[in-house]
Amino acid sequence: MTATGTVLALSKDKEHFEKILDEVIKKTGSLCAILITKDGHNIAARGNTNFLNITALAALVAGSFAATKQVATLLGEREFSILFQQGESRHIHISLVASTAMMIIVFDDSSRIGLVRLHSRRAGEDLTELIQKRSESPEKDELMVEQFKEFAVNLIDRIFTE
């Protein structure tokens, strides 16, 4: 499935994804949770994302994950399923979801990494189940294609006018 096809297929379950992301934020005290494709396309974002450029973050995380996959290969692993970056006050936990998506959790020192890891694993299982159900029954929906095209054009306009 192409990146556009993946985004279109997954966007149909956006409300379900958002509920799962909301639950992760609630249980971990995280700032936000974002679901992206491995290609770097945003699927769903919840929580306080006002301080983020989600489009740029999604692209950079996807690139970082791709580079880390090469490191895993050098070490004899197929890939790493979790990345964790620790800053002075903000941290990011990235986990692979199914084979097509990643969940990004941004949190600060008020959240415990153990809770983030625990609840991201549980949420990842729920997200994987939804994604696998969607990929088992792909639907071709011309309206969704047109809506995505319109969304993409508007996004590009916003990016270049900011």
Helices (H), the chain: 3-11, 14-28, 54-74, 113-136, 142-161
* SS3 category, 115: helix
pTM of this prediction? 0.78
pLDDT digits (tens, 9 = 90+) for 6-54: 555 556 789 999 999 999 999 999 999 999 999 999 999 999 999 999 9
Rounded CA gap, 35 and 38, in Å?
Answer: 10
What is the pLDDT at residue 6?
A: 52
Q: Summarize pLDDT for 117-146 with one digit per residue, the tens.
A: 999 999 999 999 988 887 665 454 445 556
User: What are the extents of the domains in the chain?
Assistant: 3-161
Query: Is there a contact between 3 and 39 (Cβ–Cβ < 8 Å)?
Result: yes
CATH number of 3-161: 3.30.450.30
Q: In whole angstroms, what is the distance from residue 97 CA to residue 124 CA?
A: 6
